[in-house]
């Protein structure tokens, strides 16, 4: 089997929504990223810690794990923040395993399990971080080490496929009626779980996954752009995405001089999408130009740069020799920010020491779509309406 499936579980949101993207991008080089490399190290650390803490190891296996741990600790991405956040993740997984053991004493935990998905998705497989099997309930857990983008388990095709594949693989062990699919993002302090009866999960697999997977495998279906494009290797030069994003430019605005508030509302919906797409196109063009491709009417030029000391120690000596005092040339020692303290010493430790000394002032108002989970802030109009209502009472 190849190391990476054409229709991988991690790419499922993309190929389910845009089936032909799978064949379009299959030969495109994936440059990877430092975030992905950092995530790989965090996953390795998590696996080692989970094996040491939650599985039975003989002395030889323990020795191997110790060696692997030493290797992880030498990695450029390993740091105290990773140590603390992965430890928190391990504790959360342990809690869930204990819950499963409370349901059935012989509950099992499996780590880094290769899951076969070919029953629904041609030639597909994936690796699930954690599978916990107990009487009646199967839980799959996926660690997301990134902190930039929140990832919800609700309706998430990747974790659903892991749940489905794990059920298919292990349902002979127990009578499983419910599948729990959990995503843990320890750096965002976020745990999200979707719970589905197995019948509902199978219905989704048969009605949505299987037909989309067949289209994707055959290179058929319609291109369809959306949020899923951000993970697509064709995101910068895909014609369908460009067409969709430039569609509003041909929109016939009714008022000749000014946009109406309804037209502004429609533009706001695509503004983020346009911004992300513009960045993808710019990055792509930049890489092409660096590789020697001539882009008509564009050229590479030297960018801005900041001045720097040729030799910082020599500059300091020169300033002191010129009778500047240390206070005049050095920054006073500043306390680290809350996040920096947490990164260095762990969230739990800092929360314990500073429990009553951390406040969260109200954030600046931000414009968000109506579907946003945060409650609506009171506008001046609403405040006025409240006063009127109070006056009437
Ligand atoms: S960029 Fe979007 S629309 Fe284009 S192929 Fe990829 S997923 Fe499909």
Q: How confident is the model at residue 59 (pLDDT cuts 50, 70, 90)?
A: confident
pLDDT at 281: 94
pLDDT at 392: 46
Residue 246 host element (H or E): helix 239-246
**Higher per-residue pLDDT: 325 or 256:** 325
Strand partners, 140: 131, 181
pLDDT at 3: 60
What does the mean pLDDT of the chain come to?
A: 89
Q: What is the pLDDT of residues 302-360, one digit of tens each?
A: 988 899 999 999 999 999 999 999 989 998 888 999 988 988 888 888 989 998 899 98
- Residue closest by Cα to atom 7 of ligand 1: 229
Please report the atom of ligand 1 found closest to the CA of residue 229.
2
pLDDT at 259: 82
Q: Decide: 145 and 163 in contact? Cβ < 8 Å.
A: no
**Is 216 near ligand 1, meaning CB less than 6 Å away?**
no
- Gap from CA of 298 to ligand 1 centroid (Å): 26
Distances 288 to 54, 141, 285, 297 between C-alpha atoms, Å: 48, 39, 5, 14
pLDDT over threshold 70, residue 298:
yes
Q: How confident is the model at residue 389 (pLDDT cuts 50, 70, 90)?
A: very low
pLDDT over threshold 90, residue 182:
yes
Q: Decide: 90 and 66 in contact? Cβ < 8 Å.
A: no
Q: Among 227, 234, 280, which residue has the most ligand 1 atoms within 8 Å of its CB, making it the best to mutate? A: 234
Q: How confident is the model at residue 210 (pLDDT cuts 50, 70, 90)?
A: very high
pLDDT at 254: 62
pLDDT at 67: 95
Quote the CA–CA distance of 133 and 348 in Å, as a whole number. Answer: 29
Please report the atom of ligand 1 found closest to the CA of residue 228.
7
Q: Decide: 50 and 93 in contact? Cβ < 8 Å.
A: yes
pLDDT over threshold 60, residue 262:
yes
Q: Decide: 83 and 46 in contact? Cβ < 8 Å.
A: no
SS3 10: coil
Domain boundaries along the sequence of the chain: 12-218, 235-290
pLDDT at 1: 43
**Is 7 near ligand 1, meaning CB less than 6 Å away?**
no
What is this structure's pTM?
0.81
Q: What Rg value do the Cα atoms of the chain yield, rounded?
A: 27
Quote the CA–CA distance of 348 and 286 in Å, as a whole number. Answer: 43
Please state the φ and ψ torsions of residue 124, each to the nearest 5 degrees: -105, 145
- Gap from CA of 25 to ligand 1 centroid (Å): 9
pLDDT over threshold 80, residue 249:
no
pLDDT at 186: 93
- Gap from CA of 121 to ligand 1 centroid (Å): 19
**Is 225 near ligand 1, meaning CB less than 6 Å away?**
yes
Quick one: what percent of the chain has pLDDT higher than 70? 93
**Is 44 near ligand 1, meaning CB less than 6 Å away?**
no
Q: Which residues contact 231 (CB under 8 A, 6 or more apart)?
A: 11, 13, 14
Quote the CA–CA distance of 340 and 175 in Å, as a whole number. Answer: 47
pLDDT at 2: 47
**Is 229 near ligand 1, meaning CB less than 6 Å away?**
yes
- Gap from CA of 172 to ligand 1 centroid (Å): 39
Quick one: what percent of the chain has pLDDT higher than 90? 63
Q: Decide: 52 and 62 in contact? Cβ < 8 Å.
A: yes
**Is 48 near ligand 1, meaning CB less than 6 Å away?**
no
**Is 18 near ligand 1, meaning CB less than 6 Å away?**
yes
pLDDT at 221: 96
pLDDT at 320: 95
Residue 114 host element (H or E): strand 108-116
């Amino acid at each position: 089997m190849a190391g990476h499936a054409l229709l991988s579980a991690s790419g499922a949101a993309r190929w389910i929504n845009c089936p032909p993207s799978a064949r379009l991008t299959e030969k495109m080089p994936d440059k990877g990223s430092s975030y992905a490399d950092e995530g790989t190290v965090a996953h390795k650390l998590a696996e080692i810690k989970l094996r040491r803490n939650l599985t039975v190891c003989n002395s030889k296996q323990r020795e191997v794990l110790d060696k692997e741990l030493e290797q992880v600790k030498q990695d450029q991405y390993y740091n105290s923040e990773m140590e603390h956040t992965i430890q928190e993740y391990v504790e959360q997984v342990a809690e869930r395993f204990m819950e499963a053991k409370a349901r059935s004493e012989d509950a099992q935990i499996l780590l880094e399990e290769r899951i076969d998905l070919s029953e629904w998705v041609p030639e597909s497989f994936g690796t699930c971080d954690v599978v916990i099997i107990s009487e009646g309930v199967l839980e799959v857990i996926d660690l997301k080490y990134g902190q930039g983008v929140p990832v919800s388990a609700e309706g998430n095709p990747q974790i659903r496929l892991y749940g489905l594949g794990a059920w298919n693989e292990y349902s002979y062990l127990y009578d499983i009626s419910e599948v729990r699919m959990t995503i843990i993002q320890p750096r965002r302090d976020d745990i999200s779980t979707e719970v589905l009866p197995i019948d509902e999960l199978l219905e989704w697999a048969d009605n949505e996954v299987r037909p989309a997977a067949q289209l994707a495998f055959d290179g058929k279906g319609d291109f369809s752009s959306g949020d899923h494009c951000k993970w697509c290797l064709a995101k910068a030069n895909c014609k369908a995405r460009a067409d969709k994003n430039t569609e509003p430019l041909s929109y016939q605005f009714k008022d000749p001089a000014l946009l109406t508030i309804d037209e502004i509302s429609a533009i706001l919906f695509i503004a983020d999408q346009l911004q992300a797409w513009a960045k993808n196109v710019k990055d792509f063009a930049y890489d092409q130009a660096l590789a020697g491709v001539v882009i008509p009417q564009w050229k590479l030029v030297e960018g801005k740069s900041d001045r720097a000391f040729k030799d910082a120690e020599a500059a300091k000596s020169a300033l002191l020799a010129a009778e500047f005092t240390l206070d005049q040339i050095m920054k006073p020692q500043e306390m680290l920010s809350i996040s920096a303290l947490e990164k260095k010493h762990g969230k739990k430790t800092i929360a314990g020491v500073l429990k009553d000394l951390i406040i969260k002032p109200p954030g600046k108002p931000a414009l968000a779509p109506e579907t946003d989970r945060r409650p609506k802030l009171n506008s001046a109009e609403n405040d006025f309406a409240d006063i009127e209502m109070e006056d009437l009472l």
